[in-house]
């Protein structure tokens, strides 16, 4: 089902989006060499509950996972790109960390992911990969407006990723969002312009380009959740929730904290 939000629901979506973005912003600021992924999860839990929000993850039990996720944030290090289950691991200098967070606030969900490098060293390949996903995300958002089709967004995202030299996986991509975290339409990270659902004001989409340095193939970790690159190469992921407006698109998951 594709949901079109009312103006009142859109206001709540903006609050949910700002909350997600502010939590990610705060967590990024706390992540240093030695930070444990389980501490990041606890910090996320506290901020979600203090805001009166509901985690979209803790009870999440889709067909592709192993039982309820049981944690409040996805933490992917280096070769872990999607659904990274927090584990007892202390971040090292130069680690590429992806934080992916979705919460529901007063019945409306928002979803965002950021990738960044921990510590002082800045491996060039990792910097380039993060930059490619951020540029692809901006291209997808720029293509989003009433009358555009999902294929236009997919094409814009996929073109940036492909031109940057990354193979694109189309199993997991963006999605509609609203009263629940994952809704139709699916937004693959590669597609043909002019195809697919036509965007309308009030539609919320989570766009999420992600790449792996040298493969498009994933392997599931022994934890039953974390998806890693099959070659062990590094990965990156950037995601925003956007609202289609009458003029274009508004990004809902930008931090409002200084």
Candidate ranges 25-33, 137-145, 184-192, 238-246; the one touching Mg ion (CB under 5 A): 238-246
Select the span of 43-51, 91-99, 228-236, 237-245 touching Mg ion (CB under 5 A).
237-245
Nearest-10 Cα torsion for 253, 3, 207, 33: 50
Flag whether 239 is marked binding.
yes
> How far, in Å, CA of 150 to CA of 82, rounded?
22
3-class secondary-structure state, position 183: strand
Q: Is 247 annotated as a binding residue?
A: no
Which DSSP string corresponds to 95-134? -EEEEEEEEEETTEEEEEEEEEE-SS---HHHHHHHHHHH
> Is residue 206 involved in binding Mg ion (CB under 5 A)?
yes
Instruction: Check binding of 100 to Mg ion (CB under 5 A).
Output: yes
Contact (CB, 8 A) for 168 and 190: yes
| Shortest distance (Å) from residue 77 CB to Mg ion | 16
Residue 72 binds Mg ion, judged by CB under 5 A: no
Q: Does 9 bind Mg ion (CB under 5 A)?
A: no
Kindly list the residues in this chain that would bind Mg ion in the complex (CB under 5 A): 100, 111, 113, 206, 208, 239
- Going by the annotation, the residues of the binding site for substrate are 83, 182
- Going by the annotation, the residues of the binding site are 83, 100, 111, 175, 182, 208, 239
């Amino acid at each position: 089902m594709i949901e079109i939000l009312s103006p009142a629901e859109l206001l709540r979506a903006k609050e949910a989006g700002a909350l997600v973005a502010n939590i990610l912003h705060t967590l990024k600021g706390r992540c240093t060499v030695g930070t444990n992924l389980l501490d990041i999860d606890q910090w996320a839990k506290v901020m979600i509950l203090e805001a009166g929000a509901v985690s979209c993850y803790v009870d999440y039990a889709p067909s592709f996972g192993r039982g309820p996720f049981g944690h409040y944030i996805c933490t992917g290090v280096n070769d872990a790109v999607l659904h990274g289950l927090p584990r007892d691991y202390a971040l090292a200098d130069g680690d590429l960390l992806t934080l992916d967070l979705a919460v529901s606030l007063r019945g409306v969900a928002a979803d965002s992911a950021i990738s960044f490098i921990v510590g002082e060293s800045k491996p060039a390949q990792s910097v380039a990969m993060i930059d490619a996903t951020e540029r692809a995300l901006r291209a997808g958002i720029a293509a989003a407006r009433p009358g555009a089709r999902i294929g236009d967004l997919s094409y814009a995202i996929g073109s940036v990723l492909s031109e940057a030299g990354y193979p694109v996986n189309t199993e997991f991509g963006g999605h509609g969002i609203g009263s629940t975290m994952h809704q139709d339409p699916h937004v693959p990270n590669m597609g043909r312009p002019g195809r697919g659902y036509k965007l309308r004001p009030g539609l919320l989409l989570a766009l999420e380009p992600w790449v792996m340095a040298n493969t498009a193939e994933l392997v599931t970790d022994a934890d039953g959740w974390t998806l890693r690159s099959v070659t062990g190469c590094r990965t990156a992921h950037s995601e925003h929730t956007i609202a289609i407006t009458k003029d274009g698109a508004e990004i809902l998951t930008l931090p409002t904290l200084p």
